[in-house]
Chains A and B, each alone.
Chain A
Amino acid sequence: MRRVCLMAASTGLVALLASAVCADLALTKVWPEKIRYVEGEEAVFAIQVKNTGQQPWQGRVSGTIESGLAERTPVFDREMTLAAGEEKTLTEKYEVHLGEFGHALYVVADNGQARTEAREVFCVGPWYYNMGRYLTAFELGKFRSPEEVQAAMQSKWRSWYVTCHELFSTAPGIWAQMTPTDETWFSGQNSFYESLTGETAFIEAAHRNGMAVMLYDITACHAAPAEEYSRAHPDWLNYNDRGRPQGAYNMAEMERWRAMTLEAREHTSPVQLAPNVASPQVQDAHLQDIIACSKVLGYDGIRWDGQLITAGYDVFGKRIDTDLDAQNAAWNTKMRRTLMDAIPGYTVNYNYGPQSQGEGVPLPQTYKTLGPNAYLLWESIRGTYKDPNSPLNVWEGFIEGTRAEINDYARPHGNFQHFGWYGMDSEVQQNHTQAILYALGGHWDTWNPLKYDAFSMRYGEYLWDTHLKNLQDGSALVQVADPQDRLWWQQFVQERPRAGGGRTIVTHVLNKPVHERQNEFEKDAPPLQTDVKVTLAPPPGAQVLKAYVLTPDANRAHWCAEVTPTVEGGKASVIVPSVEYWSFVVWETGA
């Protein structure tokens, strides 16, 4: 009997090794050397096949790139002979000419008697934080070489499908000093142990993996560099109405910080002073510091953790905030232009108070100056979603709040909305959270692997493309049979024009949580929903050309299936076989 080994849902190499093994033949490695490629780049794919049986094996090993919903691109087809117990590696090169977003390298080893197959996901495109996970790291002083970093990090990077890394709080004084001047240092914020060797090694290793690395920066001067900054340039600080520098400091901590050793370390931030960001001198000095730091260490961009001009006074008591929105818009424009002019390809990204929630100062003009193609972090959500008084604590409110921020503020300017940093103990809540955020077009930054990491990279085109438009009321176009009111879908209907005419319509169907409110210790998974009928009323003059059901909860061999709709009264219907947490239908319509 012909034996077929299908690779089960896998989130990386370890799972792949465990699952792609037949009794006597195994694909022990299917490995795009990078997680992300850019158009025209030469990709290198490593494939390892092992004969685990007692007899020689001879057959063909072929590789195909799977793209979109049903596209296939043959890459290689090799004859291979393996002695009993032998393992061989194929190294295949391929010049990338693939569409933006996710793809999979699908490999089959077959000799007519035994067949094994496996696939691994990668992505293509310039915007690294829009195609996979975004992680953060610090405490890099321990690394001595890119190889050391790779050994320590690669498993996580690849199994979590990470395309972008941030180095959090690694600068000596943050705003007060971004560029290191010594081989090793303790960062001013949180006292992480950092080194020139370690940071450059980390960034080099990330680049080898196709990732980008962001420099973290916050509008506060820290630790000893802050003392010197504020001493040398008292006119560069923001003061309160009583003439005191805005911020906080603890001189006892500062004294201990100066004498600190790696063995006896406190993770403190002994000084945090607010700079006067409204001052052109302050702006120029800091931008030059960022440029120097990025060039020295190799950063690809910056993620500002609050760079706003804020209310306050200059050193002589003159108000620095005249029109905060206009001032911040001008500052953002200058910042982007200066950094992007100085370092080709550099990106500028932000942490902003969600405008849809009325958090912080309203910044309509400023928002127009962000991006396009910028990462926007909504960080406060990690506290508010737990607050029983917050509308975000109720799942329905969570959907409305996050949806409004993406639809009204991120996507209209071509930007990518991230939510984070937060995680929870409950896998149930985690799955719901990821499904909701991703189905709305958002990203989630957290510290642990998530269920839909591989899936979302592979089908990112249907989640994260900023050309997708989330319809205000999806029910005008789509209906989902839901007699028990167990499903969310009205808020999750997205569409975009198709090349050559027609539209792509995505109808997400989410299985509602058992409880109305979020609970980070949730144990109750929702009951499985089966055979859900989804009906599309195509726009006038259009018809459904193709329809696909995507099932993120399935194993990766069954993520996507083309289905034939039944058409009745001009409406097309498909049956979604199951909704554990999240499934969706992609309709392609045209004349």
Chain B
Amino acid sequence: MGIFLSRRSWTAAVLVLAATAMGSTVWAQATARQETEGQRQVLVMENEYWKLTVWPDLGARVMHAVYKPTGHDWIFEKGGLFCDHVTQQTWPGELMDAAYQTQIMSAGPEEATVRVWRKIDGKGDEAIAGVVFERDMTLKRGDPRLHAVIRLKNETEAPRAPTPWVQNMFHVGGGKTDNRDFRPTTTGIQEAWAEYTATETKRNGEDFVREPTAGWTAVANTANGEGAVFLVTYNDLFWLYNCIGALTTEWWYDPVPLAPGASWESPVTMVPFEGLKSVAYADQKVIASLDTTYQDQKLDATLRLLSASPEAMPPVTGELTLVSWPEQKVLKSEKFTTPEVGAKPVSQTFDLGALAKTQEAVIRVKLTSGQYTATFERYFDPLAAEKAQFGQVTSNYRIPKPRKEKHFELPAEAKVERHEQPRVLLYEGLHTRYWGLDYALRYLDVDKIQKSHHTIFVYGDQLDYMVGSPSELLQYDLVILSNVPAEALTDVGQAFLKLYVEHGGSLLILGGNAAYGAGSYGEGDLSSLLPVEVGGFFDRVEIKGGCALAPSGTLGESLFARWPRGGNAPRVYWMHQIAGLRPGAQVVMKAGDRPAIVTNQVGEGRVAAVLLTPWGVPAEGQIGFWEYRLWPRQLAGLMDWLQAQERGR
């Protein structure tokens, strides 16, 4: 069993640091007040750990953040903590430098809370216009953490779906050098840092973390161990980001569907720390680092733990295990018990024994303290440095991305509203215009087509319209997903869609280069609605010379009764290759032996998966199905069938 070394208890540290930093205990209480800084009215929040200055006229950013235990102001010129954005607007967006309204909600002495807010103009963007972006920031007596709440309020009469984004521009440890970012991802803890010389800035690592696996992101000064962890709600988290070299720590949230009058909020906790030069794990209780040394083919690992809250944690028991990768055989395992875990790290070095240079490995840590448990791990490749030198991909190490739990419910009796003139929600992606939907929907005599346009750009996939609630989606007779990826729908949109279909909704899915495999339809709630097993990312198949489409099965013969038969029938040239049909699937059209249109029943609703794409150039004398003059009518028939069950047909 290892022996942990504890330098100082949390309580003792607080008293010593407060006394050192201030020379008195006058700021042991938390305060919030208005002050003047030059010509500017500012808000100052203060306790024994922090003096924070908020500039209301500049996005209500925290423009000075003096960490009293070290005396370092973490904010550099033109930086700031809590720069508000929405990803519908490219940086800097309208909020960053805008004047905010402010209110001191609590002036102390136990808690000091400042609220800041601004209504987004949005310049006509239906996803964000009129949404109020609000932020509460709280300092508490005896607590080094900065507690914030990000809040969005839809004060309009239409649904909105803003995608909030928080940016922090700061450095730790007294300057920009030696700052290093740590982010939990599906490929392990990803580090990013910049090296500054007089003549260049060398950037190391990736800016974007598109697959975070936990709700934290950290920066540590590798020279003096000062740092900060931002704890955010994983369930709300979309991406993590650091602009390497520009010293930013940022995260983007999932889109927030807001029905008229609705609001959403998500807490953020910034935990400062000292004594860690890396971060391998963080939650509301514990911050941990797990560093390795490898010399003469012997591996040591040093585990450091500190408390993420003002309260010291009782002694932690745990186990550190070395397993081989990818075989995952246990190579060594050691149990340990720590002393009480406080503000200063307790640490232990584990001798993990010999490890061959060619043996990749994973170090796993399990922590237990009363009801509290945590597990985390670190991948280790002895040849990583050597491989990186030759530009090789170093590993296939990958951990699953934890599934988010987006809980939305509808009453069991909730049903899709059917209208004499149908209402249609069209998720419109690339190539939608080739499907003849305009004409098809005319056949249906639709009352309203609500479009949600797909955008893919530097901030990923987005839609410009999302319904604010599952019940709102029930107002649509038909939803068409036209070459829009699951990533654009997000977990929220997929959850809504699942509820919609289960409660009698009608879903038509069209193929394309952002659909099915490439659209990640095989994952998430959308997958559960499909009548087919989706192939890989490159699931498309080219049919040289095309293949005539033919109705299939009783339902197909009925739906496409007027479809031309034989070799002169309209053709498909490119389509999706599926991995298989799901139970209950009905193939209603085929291209040779390949399923081309497949339907199924999900709950009370119906789904049609069109595996065709309107791609290719028909040879002379041939006709692509999308060019066939009666195609819109055939498509309208399929749409009608999708809704027919609820209409008693």
- Chain A positions near chain B (C-beta within 8 angstroms): 227, 230-235, 237, 239, 241-245, 247-255, 271, 313, 315-317, 389-391, 394, 397
Q: Which of B196, B200, B429, B520 interacts with A251 by CB under 8 Å?
A: B429
| Residues of chain B within 8 A of A394, CB atoms compared | 199
Q: In the complex, what residue of chain A is closest to B434 when comparing beta carbons? A: A231
Q: Are A317 and B615 in contact (CB under 8 A)?
A: no
Q: Does B456 contact A (CB under 8 A)?
A: yes
Among A241, A317, A390, the most chain B Cβ lie within 10 Å of the Cβ of A317
User: With an 8 A cutoff between CB atoms, is B613 at the interface?
Assistant: yes
Question: How far is A243 from B535 in the complex, measured between Cα atoms in Å?
Answer: 11
Among A227, A237, A243, A271, contact of B537 (Cβ-Cβ < 8 Å): A243
Contacts of A248 in B (CB 8 A): 455-458
Which residues of chain B from 491 to 542 have any CB-CB distance to chain A below 8 Å in the complex? 513-514, 517-518, 520, 536-540, 542
Picked from A313, A317, A389, the residue with its CB within 8 Å of the CB of B200 is A389
Closest chain B CB from A393 CB (angstroms): 10
Asked whether B538 lies within 8 Å of A244 as measured between CB atoms, the reply is: no
User: Beyond A235-B542, A243-B518, A315-B538: 5 further Cβ-contacts under 8 Å?
Assistant: A227-B431, A239-B518, A243-B538, A244-B537, A316-B540
Q: How far is the CA of A252 from the CA of B457 in the complex (A)?
A: 13
Inter-chain contact A232/B430, CB cutoff 8 Å: no
Once A230-B430, A231-B434, A234-B540 are accepted as A-B contacts, the answer to whether A255 and B615 lie under 8 Å apart by CB is no
Residues on B facing A (Cβ under 8 Å)? 196, 198-201, 245, 428-434, 451, 453-458, 464, 485, 513-514, 517-518, 520, 536-540, 542, 574, 613-617
Q: Which 3 A-B pairs have the closest CB atoms?
A: A317-B538, A243-B518, A243-B537
Inside 8 A of A230's CB, which chain B residues have their CB?
Answer: 430-431, 513
- How far is B514's CA from A254's CA once the two chains are assembled, in angstroms? 17
A-B contact list, 22 entries, CB within 8 Å: A227-B430, A230-B513, A231-B434, A231-B614, A234-B574, A235-B542, A239-B513, A239-B518, A242-B537, A243-B513, A243-B536, A248-B455, A248-B456, A250-B455, A251-B455, A313-B538, A316-B538, A317-B537, A390-B200, A391-B198, A394-B199, A397-B199
Determine the chain B residues whose CB is within 8 A of the CB of A233 once the complex forms: 617
Most buried by B among A235, A252, A255: A252
In the complex, the answer to whether B453 meets A250 with C-beta atoms within 8 Å is yes
Residue numbers in A under 8 Å from B432 (CB-CB): 251
Residue from the list A232, A239, A252, A271 in contact with B538, Cβ < 8 A? A239
For A271, list chain B residues within 8 Å (CB): 430
Q: Is the CB of B617 within 8 A of A227?
A: no
Closest to B482 in A: A251
Residues of B contacting A389 in the complex (Cβ-Cβ under 8 angstroms): 196, 200-201, 245
Tell me the complex Cα distance, A253–B125, Å: 12
> Are B200 and A391 closer than 8 Å at their CB atoms?
yes
The closest CB in chain B to the CB of A247 belongs to: B456
- Distance of B207 from chain A, by nearest CB (Å): 15
Nearest-Cβ distance from residue A232 to partner chain B, whole angstroms: 5
Instruction: Report whether A317 and B536 are in contact in the complex, using a CB–CB cutoff of 8 Å.
Output: yes
Task: Give, as a whole number of angstroms, the nearest-CB distance from B123 to chain A.
Answer: 12
A239 to B537: give the CA distance in the assembly, Å.
10
Task: Tell me, rounded to whole Å, the shortest Cβ–Cβ distance linking A351 to chain B.
Answer: 20
Q: Tell me which residues across on chain A come within 8 A of B538, comparing CB atoms.
A: 239, 243, 313, 315-317
B455:A249 contact, CB within 8 angstroms: yes
Check B201–A390 contact: CB distance below 8 A. Answer: yes
What separation, in Å, do the CA atoms of A248 and B199 have in the docked complex? 34
Inter-chain CA distance A250–B219, complex, in Å, is: 35
Taking CB atoms, residues of chain B closer than 8 Å to A249 are 430, 454-456
Q: Is the pair B540, A315 in contact by a Cβ cutoff of 8 Å?
A: yes
CB < 8 Å neighbour of A244 from B464, B518, B613: B518
Inter-subunit contact A244/B614 (CB<8 Å): no
Give min CB distance, A226 to chain B, whole Å. Answer: 9
Q: Do A391 and B199 touch (CB < 8 A)? A: yes
Cβ contact within 8 Å between B457 and A243: no
Report the Cα distance A326→B451, complex, angstroms: 46
How far in angstroms is the closest Cβ of chain B from A478? 26
Nearest-neighbor residue (CB-CB) of B516 within chain A: A243
The distance in angstroms between the C-alpha atoms of A313 and B454, with both chains bound, is 23
How far apart sit A397 and B451, CA to CA, in the bound complex (Å)? 52
Chain B residue at minimum C-beta to C-beta distance from A273: B430
Q: Which residue of chain A lies nearest to B613 when distances are taken between CB atoms in the complex?
A: A234
Q: Which residue of A lies closest to B483 (CB)?
A: A251
- Across the two chains, which residue of chain A brings its CB closest to B431? A231
Question: With a CB–CB cut-off of 8 A, which chain A residues contact B518?
Answer: 239, 242-244
Tell me the nearest residue of chain A to B199, going by C-beta. Answer: A391
Q: In the bound complex, do residue B200 and residue A243 qualify as a contact, i.e. CB atoms below 8 Å apart? A: no
| Contact (Cβ within 8 A) B485 A227 | no
Which residues of chain B come closer than 8 Å to A391, judged between CB atoms? 198-200
Q: Which residues of B lie under 8 Å from residue A231 when comparing CB positions?
A: 431, 434, 614-615
Q: Which residue of A lies closest to B618 (CB)?
A: A232
Cβ–Cβ < 8 Å partners of A253 in chain B: 455
Let me know if B513 and A251 touch, CB within 8 A: no
B453 close to A251 (CB less than 8 A): yes
Report the separation of the CA atoms of residues A157 and B391 in the bound assembly, to the nearest whole angstrom: 49
What residues of chain B lie closer than 8 Å to A247, measured between beta carbons?
456
A241 / chain B contacts, CB cutoff of 8 Å: 537
Residues on A with beta carbons closer than 8 Å to the beta carbon of B199: 391, 394, 397
> Hey, which chain A residues are within 8 Å of B198, CB to CB?
391
A554 to B612, CA, bound (A): 71
> Smallest distance from the beta carbon of A121 to chain B beta carbons, Å?
38
B546 CB to nearest A CB, Å: 13
- In the complex, how many angstroms separate the beta carbon of B298 from the nearest chain A beta carbon? 37
> Known contacts A232-B617, A234-B613: does B513 contact A252 (CB below 8 Å)?
no
Q: Which residues of A contact B431 (CB under 8 A)?
A: 227, 230-231
Output the nearest chain A residue to B617 by Cβ-Cβ distance: A232
- A127–chain B nearest beta-carbon distance, Å: 34
Is there an interface contact between A252 and B453, defined as CB atoms closer than 8 Å?
yes
Which residues of chain B come closer than 8 Å to A390, judged between CB atoms? 200-201
Give chain A residues whose Cβ lies under 8 Å from the Cβ of B201.
Answer: 389-390
Pick the residue among A234, A243, A244, A252 that contacts B456 (CB under 8 A). Answer: A244
Q: Tell whether, in the assembled complex, residue A250 and residue B433 are in contact, meaning their CB atoms are under 8 Å apart.
A: no
Central interface residue in A232, A235, A247, A313, by most chain B CB within 10 Å: A232
A227 vs B615: C-alpha distance when bound (angstroms): 11
B residues less than 8 Å from A251 (CB atoms): 428-430, 432, 453-455
Distance to closest chain A CB from B405 (angstroms): 24
Distance to closest chain A CB from B75 (angstroms): 17
Contact of A243 among B454, B517, B615, B616 (CB under 8 A): B517
Which single residue of chain A is at the shortest CB-CB distance from B196? A389
- Nearest CB to that of B203 among chain A residues? A389
Q: Specify the chain B residue showing the minimal Cβ separation from A242.
A: B537
Which residue on chain A has the smallest CB distance to residue B540?
A: A315
Contact of B513 among A232, A234, A397 (CB under 8 A): A234
How long is the Cα–Cα vector from A248 to B454 in the complex, in angstroms?
10
Report how far A237 CA is from B513 CA in the complex, Å.
11
Question: Known contacts A243-B513, A244-B513, A248-B456: does B485 contact A232 (CB below 8 Å)?
Answer: no
Q: Which of B198, B464, B615, B617 has its CB near the most chain A CB atoms (within 10 A)?
A: B615
Residue of B nearest to A224 (CB): B433
Specify which chain A residues have a CB less than 8 angstroms from the CB of B429 in the assembled complex.
251
Residue pair B200, A244 in contact (C-beta under 8 Å): no
B537 touches A255 (CB 8 A): no
Cβ of B433: which chain A residues have Cβ within 8 Å of it? 227
CA distance A313 to B513 in the complex (A): 13
Q: Give min CB distance, A118 to chain B, whole Å.
A: 47
Chain A nearest CB: distance from B624 CB in Å? 10
Q: Is the CB of B514 within 8 A of A244?
A: yes
Rounded to whole Å, the gap between the CB of A305 and the closest CB of chain B is 19
| In the bound complex, CA of A391 to CA of B518 (Å) | 41
- State A394–B197 Cα separation when bound (angstroms): 13
Contacts of B613 in A (CB 8 A): 234
A316 to B574, CA, bound (A): 11
Contacts of A252 in B (CB 8 A): 451, 453, 455, 464
CA distance A241 to B536 in the complex (A): 11
Q: Which chain A residue shows the least CB distance to B429? A: A251
Q: A316 contacts which chain B residues (CB < 8 A)?
A: 538, 540
**Which A residue sits closest to B518, measured CB to CB?**
A243
